[in-house]
């Protein structure tokens, strides 16, 4: 009986190995199909990005060509006036900021003098 048991065990083992092989082969095919689908999707994305990139490059080139175009004299004069006006406003703002600082300092000094005067007169309450 040992002679028949060994071939049956080997036969069972062979059948199990063949089943595992078929299962592995099926898994390999599924993985290959999924990988191919993913690669096609990624290639499509790459193609779309390249197309978008080319479009953006074209837009940039168009902008650069138009910005490098020389301005006529009226445009240059208008731009110069705008710069002058902007500079005047910037100077006015700086001047007003300095005036505000000086006035704030004077208000603080006057508050101190008023507080000192009230204390010297013997006032009961202090106000800010």
- 94-114: per-residue pLDDT in tens? 999 999 999 999 999 999 999
- Do residues 111 and 128 make contact, with C-beta atoms less than 8 angstroms apart? yes
Residue with tokens 């005047």: 88
Residue-number span of the structural domain to which 33 is assigned: 1-70
**pLDDT tens digit sequence for 29-44:** 999 999 999 999 999 9
Is pTM, for the whole model, over 0.85? Answer: no
Q: Are residues 3 and 64 in the same domain?
A: yes
Q: Is residue 79 part of a domain?
A: no
Identify whether 118 is part of a domain.
yes
Q: Are residues 16 and 55 in the same domain?
A: yes
Quote the CA–CA distance of 8 and 14 in Å, as a whole number: 10
**Residue 21 burial (10 A CB sphere; 0-12, 13-18, 19+):** exposed
Does some domain include residue 80? no
**Computed from CA positions of residues 93, 99, 102, 106, in that sequence, does the dihedral angle turn out positive or negative?**
negative
Residues 58 and 102 both lie in one domain: no
Q: State how many domains the chain has.
A: 2
Q: Which of 70, 100, 119 is the last residue of a domain?
A: 70
């Amino acid at each position: 009986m040992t002679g028949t048991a060994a071939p049956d065990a080997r036969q069972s083992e062979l059948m199990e190995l063949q089943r595992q092989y078929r299962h592995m082969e099926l898994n390999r095919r599924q993985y290959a199909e999924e990988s191919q689908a993913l690669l096609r999707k990624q290639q499509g994305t790459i193609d779309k990005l390249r197309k978008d990139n080319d479009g953006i490059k074209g837009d940039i080139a168009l902008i650069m060509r138009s910005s490098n175009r020389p301005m006529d004299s009226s445009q240059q004069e208008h731009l110069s006036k705008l710069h002058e006006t902007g500079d005047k406003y910037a100077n006015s703002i700086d001047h007003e900021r300095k005036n505000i600082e000086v006035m704030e300092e004077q208000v603080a000094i006057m508050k101190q003098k008023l507080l000192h005067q009230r204390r010297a007169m013997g006032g009961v309450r202090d106000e800010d």
